[in-house]
Amino acid sequence: MPDQSRSNLRFEGQRYFRIDPIPALLGSADPALAYTVRRDLLGEKVPPVQDLWTMKGCQRLAEKQLPNGAWRYPGKSYDPISNTNYDLLETYRTLRVLVEMFAFDRRHPIIEKAINYVFSCQTEEGDIRGIIGNQYMPYYHGAILELVIKAGYGEDPRVIKGLAWLVSMRQYDGGWVIPAQLVPARLKNPALWHGQPVEPDRTKPHSHLATGMILRAFAVHPNYIDLPEVKQAGYCLCERIFKADRYIDRKDSSYWLKFQFPFWWTTLVTTLDTLSRLGFCSNNEQIASGLRWFAENQSADGLWETGYGSGQRVEDNRNWVGLAICRLVKRFYE
């Protein structure tokens, strides 16, 4: 499926920001970043995406893929106490890099193997399970489906089944929770992680951590962006921008400004990226406050601090986060 962020319009950073971020992005030594900036922000004709697939970083990841399509988590594959499938977690982490930074899709054989492995973890109910034992993990489920859809599997029956399961798991207020999150700490023991999944209490308010991660899957599937249930969940997410979560995981409001790329948790960047894809407008009060934050908090080079300290990896992340911010701003305004 084509990336909805792509457009032939040139992104003119100086129109929206005090400092144009494009020069800093093009000054990066990362050829994959430069390629994506020229394609998605500047509207330039670029070589076939397969050129990215031959880069050394991609080759190293390809060589580490296991025969079953997964990637091995450093040090262990499975924890019998927490019932955690660490290979599924590592496969998710690796797909984030391959799909989001190097634009891998189903035309590459390692992607087909990886997707088949992911769906070997899908239950009869329709959910992908294993990262938090035998408990439902709608937030990881949504984030994984986002990558699967971006890789070209949007019409796969396993994806459709997985999206239907997510719709069926909504709270009465329209968002989602992580059901195991509502279990008291004293009961979070091996019996829980090996036992039957805890059902959500639908009367509880949603968690924006969960809602934000889940909506990313619907936002990249053209057949779901106008679904009433998806729009309602989008409004739920809008209302939480800059607020503390209702639940303990990543609860503090400061997590809105802890940015990562490829995306993982719900942040201001992931939220506005999702809402821009779902057709929400920049004149929405909460969205406008988020866009205003980006306009008012640039560093001297025109990019943004990620909240993760310093070092080369942090700087690389900062560049990709800058790209993500420019793409979402482009969608809202152009």
Percent of the chain's residues with pLDDT above 90: 91
CA distance 95 to 70: 10
pTM passes above 0.85:
yes
Among candidate residues 125, 124, 106, the one with its CA nearest the CA of residue 115: 106
CA distance 172 to 204: 8
pLDDT in tens, 255-276: 999 999 999 999 999 999 999 9
- pLDDT at position 100: 98
Res 1 pLDDT > 80: no
- pLDDT at position 76: 84
CA geometry: angle 283, 288, 289, nearest 5 deg = 155
- pLDDT at position 84: 96
Helical (H) or strand (E) element with 78? strand 78-79
- pLDDT at position 189: 96
pLDDT in tens, 302-324: 999 999 987 888 999 999 999 99
- pLDDT at position 169: 98
List the structure tokens of 126: 């329709």
| Mean of all residue pLDDT scores within the chain | 94
C-beta of residue 331 within 8 angstroms of C-beta of residue 5: yes
C-beta of residue 332 within 8 angstroms of C-beta of residue 291: yes
What confidence tier does 8 reach under pLDDT thresholds 50, 70, 90?
A: low
- pLDDT at position 2: 41
- pLDDT at position 14: 81
Res 9 pLDDT > 80: no
Percent of the chain's residues with pLDDT above 70: 97
CA distance 143 to 265: 9
C-beta of residue 233 within 8 angstroms of C-beta of residue 175: yes
Helix crossing, 31-40 with 312-333: angle to 10°? 10
